[in-house]
Structure 1
Amino acid sequence: MSSVLFLIALFLVVGLINPSFLNSSNVSACFNTSVVYTLVAVGMAFTLFIGEIDVSVGANLGIVATVVGSMLRDGAPVPTAILVGILIGAAIGLINGWGVAIMHAPSLIYTLGVCGILRGLMYLYTNGAWVENLPKDFKDFSAVTAVGDLTVYYCAAVVLTIVIWILTTKTRHGRYFIAVGDNANGAQLVGIPATRVKVIAYVICGVLSAVAGIIFTSRIGFVTADSGDGYEMKAIAACVLGGISLVGGVGSVIGAAVGAVIMASISYLLVFMGFSSNYDNAITGIILIVIVVVDALIQHRSVVKNYHARLLARVSPDQAVAGATEKGVE
């Protein structure tokens, strides 16, 4: 809820600075621009739910965009290219899940290594050249609208996010991700297959990054050798801005989707505020640092509070009441 209020406040502030921003086409442009970030952030949310991370999402997006783009350029049917792209994303997610969940490798280092491999494969596959001359119908479809000025791609991303939110909050198996992130050992003791859940989380992340790569190819119309670079930072920032804890077990995909709109809108809003969009990455980094620090402080305060509660519970009832009263007075 706080992320939604922040987004509304951000739009209103920009509107006060430049009233021309507050029209349906400009506001819709912010949402339409965020569709790729939304899918990557929702996928990233699953890895954060389980207390891990995936910094290979940008490279995953890039290599899928490269392969799908080259297949379409060479005359492959669109459904075939899309299927191949999704399978590549799922395979990357499975590799990440195997390394983190089964081999117990540190997720940051392992997925960073996978990121490097994928970037290398992109250069080898394209020889550093751009993938261009994609089918016109494929590129033009990114501009097709469904609701007002909102594109089909963004509306589909919203529907997908809502479906995922329902599955992760209203179903028993969906709640496994949060349970594993909250306490993996405890979840295992009550019968939740923690290892399998972690692998599935990475596969979902990989698939959504692949879908984002396909939409990226359609929206941009070409693919460069560094496509997707930096998307992992924006995805992480979107998730934590949307209320997902970096230590796992807290948050929802709705928050990640709203955070993605905020992060995707920064460069667009800067122009309306009279600044250069070159400040985009710097502002993203500042937001990420601030949120991470705040999250760490909140976690530390929670740990200290729980520690005090355990200490009070170990003393006699009279001492517990006196301690609680004394703390209240302070």
Structure 2
Amino acid sequence: MKYLNELKKARWLSSFLFLIALFLVTGMVNPDFLTYSNIVTSFNGSVVFTLLAIGIAFVIMTGEIDVSIGAVMGLTATIAGQIAKRNGSILEMLVFAVLIGMLVGAMNGIGVSFFHVPSLIFTLGINGALRGLIYVVSGGKTTENFAGAFTKIGNQVLFAEVTIYLAIIVVIIAVIHLLLTKTKKGKYFIAVGDNPNGATLVGISVMKTKMLAYIICGIFAGVAGVVFASKYGQVNIVAGTGYEMSAIAACVLGGISLSGGLGNILGAAFGAVIMSSVSRMLVFIHLPSNFNNTLTGVMLLIIVVADALVQRHAVESARRKRLLSRTAAFDAKVGGKK
């Protein structure tokens, strides 16, 4: 019973059920969708979005935002493609991706947590700078004509149609989930997002926690760029554009509050599968792919509005409970004097 009650309170459960509902509805319209192969393909195709969603989840849980992750992904994907063209190693690509992600994450963290610049404004500026850098690095051209082991591994099946990347992602999600829920420092991100002043009073450094969140976010965005280049075999100059919005929507859809302090990685992962599967579902229900951005935008609006309403209800409910408890205490005190 205890575990059942905890399961009911799990915010990620709603995104999991929503994912199942979407699959079932699509299957009702087109029964060909509900096959093992199609479902596994939907999960295999979500790895890039999942990496982005996991990274930005750390930032959102602290109550901030990062709209530069799409540009970070585009830059590291371009560099990975150029390294692949000269037959460089995957290890070299990952080193570049991690270093670039750490650098951009540190810059965002300093701007937001040290200089107290609004996170949306600062990361938007970083996004613009990185987009310009992508043009410089790529020469304004699509990075293509790279093949070999790098592109083969992107779609290499490990078992039962599950790709290597998906298997690694599942392991990463499990490890991060345990770290965030079972370790003391892992809970700092939620604590900072929930109550920064309270976190400071109990000895948690808000600045360091937000810095770490942005660095982790940058690293995951950088690695997502390498995975993107590996899976698709080419990188155009606008690669990653709009991905930040889908990653944010995935997190909120997965139960992570935009105001911080609520949510977990499992919800972000399920939300990423939903957001990445929209275009595939459109094909099976015979709607043009032009509806993809429209549906994604509508879903984002609905999710954000719903989250705002839930947060408002939670605040008002907590305020009502405090008022009732104070009134009861006052009545008890007055009654005792009589």
2:258 match: secondary structure: coil
* Stretch of structure 1 that moved more, 110-119 or 21-30: 21-30
Corresponding position: 1:293 with 2:305:
yes
Call closer, same or farther: CA 1:277–1:304 in 2, change over 3 Å: same
For 1:18-29, list aligned pairs within 5 A.
18-29=30-41
Distance 2:201 2:103 in 1: 29
Distance 1:74 1:290 in 2: 45
For 1:241-320, list aligned pairs within 5 A.
241-317=253-329
Amino acid at match of 2:32: S
Distance 2:88 2:42 in 1: 32
Residue equivalent to 1:193: 205
Cα displacement (A) at 1:318: 7.8
Deviations 1:28-64 (A, max 9, x none): 1110110000000010100000000000000000001
Amino acid at match of 2:127: C
1:146 match: secondary structure: strand
Distance 1:22 1:220 in 2: 25
Corresponding position: 1:36 with 2:48:
yes
Amino acid at match of 2:218: G
Distance 1:52 1:303 in 2: 19
Residue equivalent to 1:146: 158
Cα displacement (A) at 1:316: 4.8
Percent of aligned positions that are identical: 49
Deviations 1:117-151 (A, max 9, x none): 00000011112111112132111111111231111
Distance 1:51 1:196 in 2: 14
Which one of 167, 174, 195 corresponds to residue 179 of structure 2? 167
Residue equivalent to 1:176: 188
**Count of residue pairs the alignment pairs up:** 320
Runs of 4+ in 1 over 3 A off after TM superposition: 316-320
Corresponding position: 1:71 with 2:71:
no
Distance 2:295 2:229 in 1: 26
Cα displacement (A) at 1:303: 1.7
Deviations 1:239-270 (A, max 9, x none): 01100000000000110000000000000001
Call closer, same or farther: CA 1:318–1:180 in 2, change over 3 Å: closer
* Stretch of structure 1 that moved more, 110-119 or 298-307: 298-307
Q: Assess if the C-alpha contact under 8 Å between 1:24 and 1:149 holds in 2.
A: no
Cα displacement (A) at 1:304: 1.6
1:250 match: secondary structure: coil
Distance 1:228 1:128 in 2: 15
Structure 2: unaligned runs, 5 residues or longer? 1-12, 333-338
Residue equivalent to 2:249: 237
Distance 1:318 1:208 in 2: 52
Distance 1:165 1:113 in 2: 31
Cα displacement (A) at 1:312: 2.5
Distance 2:114 2:161 in 1: 45
Aligned-residue CA RMSD (Å): 1.3
